Amino acid sequence: MKSKIFDQSGQEYDKWYEENESVYKAELNAVRELISPGKGLEIGVGTGRFAQPFHVEFGIDPSLNMLRLSKKRNISVVQGKGEELPFKKESFHFILIMVTLCFVDDVVEVLKESMRTLKKNGLLIMGLINKNSPLGKDYEKSRQQSKFYKHAHFFSPEKILKLLKESGFTFIDSRQTLFRSPGKINDGETLKKGYNKGGFVVLKAKKV
Ligand X SMILES: C[S@@+](CC[C@H](N)C(=O)[O-])C[C@H]1O[C@@H](n2cnc3c(N)ncnc32)[C@H](O)[C@@H]1O
The Cα 43–Cα 84 span in angstroms is: 11
Q: How far is the CB of 100 from ligand X (least distance, A)?
A: 4
Binding site for ligand X (CB under 6 A): 2-3, 6, 43-46, 49-50, 61-63, 66, 81-83, 98-100, 103-105
d(CA 142, CA 172): 33
Name the residue nearer to ligand X (CB basis): 36 or 170.
36
CB of 71 to ligand X, least distance (A): 13
Between 149 and 169, name the residue whose CB sits nearer to ligand X.
Answer: 149
Q: How far apart, in whole angstroms, are the C-alpha atoms of residue 109 and residue 96?
A: 15
Name the residue nearer to ligand X (CB basis): 56 or 208: 56
Question: Cβ atoms within 10 A of the Cβ of 125, count?
Answer: 24
C-beta of residue 177 within 8 angstroms of C-beta of residue 27: yes
Instruction: In angstroms, give the least distance from the CB of 89 to ligand X.
Output: 19
What is the side-by-side order of every strand in the sheet holding 40-43?
Answer: 76-79, 58-61, 40-43, 92-98, 118-129, 200-207, 169-177, 192-193
Q: How far is the CB of 19 from ligand X (least distance, A)?
A: 13
User: Measured at CB, which residue is nearest to ligand X?
Assistant: 46
Q: Is the Cβ of residue 191 or residue 202 nearer to ligand X in the bound state?
A: 202
